């Protein structure tokens, strides 16, 4: 053990406990509390922002996947012109790097009508290749439609909001009107009710069989409204979208003049993802403010420690200790205080995160925030990086106040009381 560390250890763990009057103790406690609260708030902020972004993104991707291919003459309505999709095209897309799965779909506007209510919706048709994981996790009642490639399924799932508005339950017959040259009516059976929290999407979409839309529009078995593509790594979403564009930009489909049009979910829903991007700035501001508060409380605490130990500093200088050795004594003390504060900060922050994650204590309005409770998510690497960052930055901030030791004269310091 070095001399500086030995002295710091004696001062921090032994000497201060024996002293009846310790002027620095309240300031040290405040500094420790500042570190603990600052780290706890930063930990909670990162967990909330990360959880919120991931949860909202997961729901948006669940409704429309990560990448969509439609006709280039997309009129930005829910009555899309068809594209022709062959099995070879689907295999080509499936073979592109980072592509997880490919699924065709079709959409068509409709009106749901009961004896007392009606509501405009969009029927989204899917086939047997559709990945139901998202809706399976959001299903609150009933079962998913049983869709295969041999028969036409008349089952649909609707949102809880639509079910409440129209007073419908699982097993009810749903009269659906499609406005074309002539009004056409279809009867669907409600097999399940889902709830995602994305109010704008929930009240709009019902999910059923792709073949129903083909029959309504008179489409062939290769015609669809578009193709949804999921990726493995979201960090490569833009690159994957560009690779798909390169492979399909000159693809027309047999008998069609409209080339494929590739867009990522971020391009399809810019308002949501731009809003989520603003959360990163909010998190940076919170981290900067909390780091400043924790740092300045530690600086003030260290300055008070130095002033209280001025007599000791003069004695050490008179005995031959250089300025850097004495500075290290107080830097070791600062390290002990920062470590204690960070320990309590992690305990408090993780307790809050776990309580919210498992207890769902704080609730939100899903019509505004897209989630009904505050989501919490933090990775081990983010937690480690935060702790390392706080430790390094606060210790670096301690170098400046410790420099005041060099200006203390031994002769005057020994007389200091």
Tokens 């994957």 identify what position? 240
Of 218, 279, 213, 315, nearest to 48 by C-alpha is 279
Distance CA 245, CA 262 (A): 6
Structural domain boundaries of the chain? Answer: 3-59+272-415, 73-258
Q: What is the pLDDT of residue 66?
A: 94
Of 412, 342, 305, nearest to 25 by C-alpha is 305
Higher pLDDT, 23 or 302: 302
Distance CA 87, CA 61 (A): 24
Give me Rg for the CA atoms of the chain.
Answer: 32
Distance CA 59, CA 78 (A): 20
Of 124, 120, 119, nearest to 108 by C-alpha is 124
Higher pLDDT, 225 or 313: 225
Q: What is the pLDDT of residue 16?
A: 52
Distance CA 287, CA 300 (A): 20
pLDDT digits (tens, 9 = 90+) for 4-25: 667 766 666 655 555 544 555 7
Distance CA 102, CA 227 (A): 7
- Coil, strand or helix at 125: strand
pLDDT digits (tens, 9 = 90+) for 234-282: 999 999 999 998 888 776 555 555 678 899 999 988 888 888 888 888 8
Whole-prediction pTM: 0.79
Q: What is the pLDDT of residue 277?
A: 85
User: Structure tokens of 321?
Assistant: 């200790």
The full length of the chain comes to 417
């Amino acid at each position: 053990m070095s001399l500086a560390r030995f002295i710091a250890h004696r001062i921090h763990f032994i000497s201060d406990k024996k002293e009846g009057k310790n002027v620095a103790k309240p300031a040290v406690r405040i500094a420790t509390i500042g570190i603990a609260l600052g780290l706890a708030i930063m930990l909670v902020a990162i967990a909330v922002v990360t959880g919120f972004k991931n949860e909202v993104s997961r729901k948006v991707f669940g409704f429309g996947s990560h990448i969509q291919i439609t006709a280039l003459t997309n009129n930005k309505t829910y009555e899309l012109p068809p594209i022709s999709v062959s099995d070879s095209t689907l295999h080509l897309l499936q073979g592109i790097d980072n592509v997880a799965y490919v699924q065709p779909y079709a959409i068509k506007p409709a009106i749901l009508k009961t004896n007392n209510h009606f509501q405009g919706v969009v029927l989204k048709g899917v086939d047997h290749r559709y990945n139901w994981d998202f809706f399976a996790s959001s299903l609150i009642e009933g079962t998913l439609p049983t869709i295969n490639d041999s028969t036409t399924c008349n089952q649909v799932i609707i949102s809880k909001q639509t079910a409440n508005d129209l007073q419908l339950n699982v097993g009810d017959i749903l009269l659906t009107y499609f406005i074309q040259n002539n009004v056409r009516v279809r009867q669907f059976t409600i097999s399940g009710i889902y709830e995602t929290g994305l109010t704008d999407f929930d009240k709009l979409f019902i999910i059923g069989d792709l073949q129903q839309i083909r029959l309504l529009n008179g489409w062939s078995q290769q015609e669809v409204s578009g193709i949804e593509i999921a990726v493995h790594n979201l960090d490569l979403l833009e690159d994957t979208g560009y690779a798909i564009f390169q492979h399909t930009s000159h693809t027309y489909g047999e008998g069609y003049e409209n080339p494929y049009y590739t867009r990522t979910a971020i391009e399809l829903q810019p308002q949501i993802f731009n809003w989520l991007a603003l959360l990163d700035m909010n998190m940076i501001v919170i981290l900067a403010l909390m780091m400043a508060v924790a740092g300045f409380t530690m600086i003030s605490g260290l300055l008070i420690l130095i002033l209280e130990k001025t007599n000791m500093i003069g004695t050490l200088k008179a005995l031959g200790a250089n300025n850097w050795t004495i500075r290290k004594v107080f830097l070791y003390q600062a390290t002990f205080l920062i470590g204690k504060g960070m320990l309590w900060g992690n305990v408090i922050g993780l307790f809050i995160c776990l309580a919210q994650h498992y207890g769902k204590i704080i609730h939100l309005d899903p019509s505004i925030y897209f989630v009904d409770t505050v989501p919490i998510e933090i990775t081990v690497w983010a937690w480690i990086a935060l702790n390392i960052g706080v430790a390094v930055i606060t210790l670096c901030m301690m170098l400046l106040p410790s420099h005041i030791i060099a200006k203390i004269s031994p002769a005057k310091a020994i007389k200091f009381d």
